[in-house]
């Protein structure tokens, strides 16, 4: 379908699906030009190079799949299943012989455990909650995929998703989706790439990585509970085929500005020109946040501190990743789709000074909505909340089944891994 972009130079006929495909093709070729081109399947966990992310979309209906698909009419008819929608859970009743399944997410599962008397004793006592199990690891070890980005103005003969600032374009695309279940509104047009640790010159040599790791990790300040985790991340960073860097291209402008935290703030099309955004994501952060109850009332939201970039090595890595964003934008064929030197914010034109780039990262920091690790599956003595069968330590048969059990943040989107945990939990419960 063709739509008209009413720009300064008059109507420009453009097919948005073709535009997305054009950027995607140039992205793949540019990443290959920079030295990463493999035929590996990104779903097997060992992909380096560019790829187009698969979508959880039913090809027949054009609708996104989600976990409610498990709740089929046959499942709903089971006599031992009762669904209470729009219901607030206040606490867990551990006396139930059949056990409990907690699946309220990385921010609310710790809250529910603490409200039920499982958590750090002094915190529970402060809120007048009887202590059933003293486990200070509940709500700790929280990890996030931090993300930063640069906007690049597209060349005069190109357009981007920013033309959807025009309500007429939006209505045309809605009509296209309603009639065909196709077009840009049928998916999230993200081109991606997994790469090892990189900077403005390309892959960081192994000896330089070892120097960085020694600088930030070879000291006595690492808590005992994190030493095993850091050792594992360290090994992944040293692997030349390890996907520590995750790049994404969105064919529209993004605004990750200090104090602006909502998606409406981030996606607003405040710049009048057409832009694309290249994002850099740190797959395996060293920083750890926390989430804990703010009161003894279930209706009060927990106190959430993502603590992004609290470990200085995360900032070092992300600054280097952002330097590589500049390298991508200057490499053909991707560079041919952009206006040379036209970037926002304007202080991203020169990314050669690492300290300067660190400041950019801190100013343009956001989250990729992948909280994990706050009820970690680890030995209890090093910060574990659940065991290898997802059972909460100290309980007979209460399990946590969500991303909070991940001891380490996985690469990329966590959706498939959460589904895998749920499938495994079903098998454990039935065994």
Binding-site residues from annotation: 89
User: Please, where are the H alpha helices in 91-203?
Assistant: 105-115, 121-126, 167-180
Cα separation, 49 vs 28, in Å, equals 8
Strands (E), 196-333: 198-199, 202-203, 245-250, 275-282, 290-292, 303-305
Contacts of 324 (CB under 8 A, 6+ apart): 195, 198, 199, 200, 202, 245, 247, 280
Output the CA–CA distances (angstroms, integers) from residue 82 to 71, 75, 78, 96, in the order listed. 11, 10, 8, 16
Contacts of 60 (CB under 8 A, 6+ apart): none
* Residue list for the binding site for FAD: 89
Contact predicate 123/302, CB 8 Å: no
Cα separation, 366 vs 145, in Å, equals 9
**345 upstream amide cis, omega within 30 of 0:** yes
Output the CA–CA distances (angstroms, integers) from residue 218 to 72, 221, 349, in the order listed. 52, 9, 34
Cα separation, 127 vs 362, in Å, equals 35
Kindly give the interhelix angle for 206-217 and 312-329, rounded to the nearest 10 degrees: 150
């Amino acid at each position: 379908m063709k739509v008209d972009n009413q720009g300064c130079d008059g109507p420009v006929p453009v097919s948005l699906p073709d535009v997305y495909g054009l950027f995607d093709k140039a992205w793949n070729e540019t990443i290959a030009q920079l030295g990463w081109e493999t035929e590996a399947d990104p779903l097997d966990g060992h992909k380096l190079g560019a790829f187009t992310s698969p979508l959880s979309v039913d090809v027949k209906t054009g609708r996104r799949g989600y976990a409610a698909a498990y709740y089929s009419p046959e499942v709903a008819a089971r006599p031992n299943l009762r669904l209470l929608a729009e219901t607030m859970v206040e606490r867990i009743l551990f006396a139930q012989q059949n056990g409990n399944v907690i699946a309220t997410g990385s921010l609310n599962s710790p809250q529910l455990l603490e409200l039920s008397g499982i958590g750090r004793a002094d915190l529970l006592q402060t809120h007048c909650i009887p202590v059933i199990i003293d486990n200070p690891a509940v709500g700790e070890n929280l990890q996030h995929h931090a993300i930063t980005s640069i906007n690049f103005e597209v060349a005069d003969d190109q357009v981007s998703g920013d033309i959807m600032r025009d309500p007429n374009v939006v209505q045309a695309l809605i009509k296209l989706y309603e009639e065909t279940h196709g077009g840009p509104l049928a998916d999230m047009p993200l081109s991606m790439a997994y790469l090892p640790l990189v900077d403005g010159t390309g892959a960081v040599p192994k000896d330089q990585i070892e120097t960085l790791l020694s600088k930030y990790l070879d000291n006595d300040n690492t808590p005992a509970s994190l030493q095993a985790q850091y050792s594992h991340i360290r090994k992944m960073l040293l692997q030349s085929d390890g996907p520590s860097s995750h790049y994404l291209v969105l064919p529209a402008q993004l605004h990750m500005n200090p104090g602006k935290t909502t998606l409406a703030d981030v996606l607003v099309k405040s710049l009048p020109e057409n832009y694309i955004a290249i994002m850099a994501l740190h797959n395996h952060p060293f920083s750890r946040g926390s989430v804990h109850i703010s009161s003894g009332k279930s209706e009060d939201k927990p106190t959430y501190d993502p603590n992004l970039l609290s470990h200085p090595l995360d900032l070092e890595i992300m600054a280097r990743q952002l330097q590589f964003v500049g390298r991508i934008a200057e490499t053909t064929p991707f560079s041919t789709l952009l206006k040379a030197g036209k970037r926002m914010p304007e202080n991203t034109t020169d990314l050669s000074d690492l300290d300067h780039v660190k400041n950019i990262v801190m100013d343009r920091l956001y989250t990729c909505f992948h909280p994990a690790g706050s009820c970690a599956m680890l030995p209890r003595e090093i910060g574990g909340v659940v065991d290898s069968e997802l059972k909460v330590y100290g309980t007979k048969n209460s399990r946590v089944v969500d991303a909070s059990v991940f001891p380490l943040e996985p690469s990329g989107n966590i959706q498939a891994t959460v589904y895998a945990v749920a499938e495994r939990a079903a098998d454990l419960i039935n065994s």
